Each structure stands twice: as structure tokens, then as C-alpha cells.
Structure 1
């Protein structure tokens, strides 16, 4: 079992067809097919069910999928750690985070902090986007790490972008839309929709659907990404969410797929806010740590 085979396997699991997976990995379809055959021989299991419209992971495939994701994350973490240079800083820093950051980016940040800012005592405070702006403006928080999709500029705060996580369509295995070569919002509107109400997702949802003549029927709303993921996995609806929070399986092991939309849908912007024009030494060190790691992290690789 080779790392490249696992990368190819995950591409097939997400794309649902050998041709789309081959395009994503920039190899030929015969090469992708050969890679899959070698992996299946190696593990002694069939990893996909072949059907007229593509491939769906078997139970063994779903199990390997979870292990493969963790293996590749560990490989990336090992590579990143070789570039870590600890900063000789001491003192304290109060960092605000929003819900999405707490759930999906903060665990990474905590690991980076231990190796790159070991002498700095960083305290994390979770708040809403509006609450974060108020706390930073009033100097109760030194810097805010947050979703900046709909942030309104103010004279008291400066916003610095870190990265944008693309928003894509999430569907269960076997969904009819997976058979279409291209998908637009009008296609999405024909199916029940599951809406995540965490952070700025609702305001952004209203922004891009506001320009569309068709609107989907919302059948479930939740602040829990796991509840949304499970609803989609159980074929209770579809959703549009960012790659930052994507995972190709639910807590019950149901398979999820992503598809790019041909209509323009804004990505989820992640950035930091601070008061004044310039950051202090500790604030700048924290931001430098984020940029250093994000450039090498799979979050940004998903945009290529």
C-alpha cells in the first residue's frame, strides 16, 4: 500500500468515477484504474461497487477511506513539522475564534502553537462574528480568527485575509445529481436542502441564492455540522458548504461526495481582525505561524 495509491483511492471515492478522479490527479484513466487494481489486490478486498454511473465505496472502502484520510494528514503533519522554527516569545495573547474555527481549524492551530510559539501563553475565547468585532475593538481580545465572508469594514478594525475555502455541493452516494456532467443552482433547487446556521453561513446562503430565480426548500436547519452531514448522508437533503468542514463520511459511516457547481458560489473567507493599522509583536507572530502552516496544509491544497 503506497501513499500515492491512497491519494488516488480518495480521489475516486470523492469523484465517483475513474475519469473525474484521473482528471483531478492529472493522470490518465488507465493509470488510475491500474492504481486502484493494485490497491485492491494489496488489501485483498473490493473497495468499490461498480455501477452504470460510476463507483460507490463498499463497506471495506468506507473503512479504508477513514484510515487513508488520517494517514495522509499524518504525512502532511510530519512534513510541516520539519519547517517549524520556534519563536523566542513569552507573555500572553488573547485570541478570539468563531464556531467554525473552534470546530475545524483550532485543533490544527493548537498543534502548530506547541512547536512554533512554545513560550507564548495563548488563551482562546469563542464568540460570534459580531461579538468578536466588539471584543477586539474594546481591547478585550488581542486578535480574532474568524469567518470574514460578510465582515463590514470599520475604522476601528483591520481585517487581513488568510485563505478562502471553496464552497461545493455535498450529496449522498447515488444521488441523481451525481450523474450530471455539470450542476447549477437551478438543479440544486429541485431537491430538499439542509441549511447550516453556524457563523456566517446563513447570510452567505442568502447572498448567492438571492441572485437565483429558483430557491430550494429548506427541510432542516441546524447549528451542528455533524447533524447536517448525517442528514445529507441519509439522503434527507443536500447542502452547499466549504471544503474546510468537509469530511467524506458521517459519524455512522455513510459516504458523502462533493461536486463543483457551475454557477458562481462564494468561498468561505477566513482571516484575522485586529484593532489599529499595525499588529503588535505577539499578534504578528501568531499570524505568521498561521500563514506558515496554512501554505503547507491540505486546506490550501484543496483549492488547486
Structure 2
């Protein structure tokens, strides 16, 4: 059966999330394109792999069998890449939530790269749920996820505390508050990035719990553009307190009072798995920084 690795990853995302729509979004595919690739997998397998229903999709017995083998294949593929890379300068892929990956993690990774000239690091922004799924399936060896999601049976060790704040333009109705509940924020227009990252996913989840949905007046390329939009009065934005605050004259940052707004970034690995030597060195460095 000529299974492609990308198709196996897509199928595992469907199994892990129970939704072809969600798996398509994670793979940056349209729903019709993702559905077509799943149908090709089923044709190659010679039997249905998914039971499709109104709430999503669940694997058939054949689908569960394929999922188990797919995890093994993808894990072996990642180990092969790591072992081959070790011979001529290794690259460690480190998926991280955006609030950490773009702020406190940067100087930590920079220090690691100075100390380890034979290892390269690729930090990629992912949602916590995607990171947990990728580490659990063996697609990556290590990740940094928020403790606000279910970490399953992964080994999880604390790295960084992360407090969320809402950035508002000076003179905004929320300006001057010592702290603010997210329920008081959702009535105001937001500015955010084009990519759906861990922050956007979390805010959408908490908005739904309030029976609301954030209205984004602006979807922009990066955090710097979002801050410029906030300063111009276009909307408000939720960000990590560790993020740079380049324009305090025009932007006020107010701590969110919700319990979920104080979270911990956790280093997650698979229990019983022995990471490659480059990944082990990076893990040791990250934990040493957390203890410091």
C-alpha cells in the first residue's frame, strides 16, 4: 500500500481530534482536499477507515489498526532523521506555544545555540493541543505546551510561568483598571494575527464558554503589527506579560483576573522514550534554565 507520510499524519490528526475539519486546518488544507486524501487512504486500505457522523469522525477497527501502525512509522521516521542529522550537525524541532516561543524562550534558545555549535534548533509555533498530540504520537520528541490543556499521560515538567494581559489603547474604556475579567473584554473589538495560534484558540474557547465570540476588526501578519493596531485604537489584544512592551505611551497592559490567565508552560515528552542526544542536550538546558 503506497501510503504517504503526510497522509498518515493527516489521518492521525483526524483520529486524535475526532474531526476531518480540524485535521484539515492543522495541515493547512481545505476540507475538500483533506477529505479526498482520506478517501485515497481508504481506497489503498481496501476498507473504510472512518465512521463519519454529525459530530465528526471516529476510526473503524481498520482505522484503529492503521493509526497504531502510522504512529510507529512516523516515530521511526523522526528517529531516522534525528540519527542521520547527528552525524553532520543535528536540528532539533521544538514546537512551542506562541506566548512562550516568541518571548521568554528566545534568550534561552540563543544561549543554548552559543553553547552547542553543532546543534541547530527550529522553534515552531503550535497550539498546546497540537503539541500534545504530536509528542504523544512520536512526531516530535519534545514540546512546550500550556498546563491549561489536558496533557494526557505525557511526562510534563514546569518551565516558565505565563501571566496573560490585555493590551488596550490609552483612553480606552478599560484603561485605568487594575485588572480586568475576560468577560469584560469580549464586548470590545480585537486585533489579532492571521494565523490561528494557541492564544487565539484559547480565547475562542473561553469566549464560547461565555456565550460570545470575539470580533476581530484586524487580522495582521505578526505581533508587532497587532500592537500597532492596538496603539491606533483599532482593537484590543490579549498577550503574554513577558511580551515586549514597546509603546507604553500609547498602550496600557492590564492583567486578566481569570484563573486560566495564569498558566505554566510545561516541557512535555513521551514516557519511556529515550530522546536523541541533541534533543537530550536541549531538554537539559531548558530544565536548567527553569531551575535557575
For 2:250, the equivalent position in structure 1 comes to 255
Which consecutive unaligned segments of at least 5 residues does structure 1 have? 1-89, 297-304
Which consecutive unaligned segments of at least 5 residues does structure 2 have? 1-87
Find the partner of 1:276 among 271, 275, 280: 271
Structure 1 CA distance for aligned equivalents of residues 135 and 258 of structure 2: 36
For 1:291, the equivalent position in structure 2 comes to 287
**CA RMSD of the aligned region, Å?**
3.6
How many residues are paired up?
Answer: 201
Secondary structure of 1:286's match?
A: helix
CA separation of 1:136 and 1:210: change in aligned 2, threshold 3 A: closer
For 1:124, the equivalent position in structure 2 comes to 122
Secondary structure of 2:180's match?
A: coil
Equivalent positions of 1:54-203 (< 5 A) are 92=90, 94-98=92-96, 100=98, 101-115=100-114, 117-118=115-116, 120-124=118-122, 126=124, 128-129=126-127, 132-133=131-132, 136-137=135-136, 139=138, 141-144=140-143, 146-148=144-146, 151-155=149-153, 157-180=154-177, 183-196=180-193, 197-203=195-201
For 2:262, the equivalent position in structure 1 comes to 267
Q: Is the 8 A contact 2:160 2:266 kept in 1?
A: yes
Cα distance per residue 1:188-241 (max 9 Å; x no partner): 234222244542112211333334366654322345222221111111111222
Give the CA deviation at 1:258: 1.0
CA separation of 1:266 and 1:176: change in aligned 2, threshold 3 A: closer
Q: TM-score, normalised by structure 2?
A: 0.54
For 2:232, the equivalent position in structure 1 comes to 234
Secondary structure of 1:270's match?
A: strand
Cα distance per residue 1:41-98 (max 9 Å; x no partner): xxxxxxxxxxxxxxxxxxxxxxxxxxxxxxxxxxxxxxxxxxxxxxxxx984623234
Structure 1 CA distance for aligned equivalents of residues 187 and 262 of structure 2: 22
Q: Is the 8 A contact 1:150 1:204 kept in 2?
A: no
Give the CA deviation at 1:166: 0.6
Give the CA deviation at 1:271: 2.4
Q: TM-score, normalised by structure 1?
A: 0.52
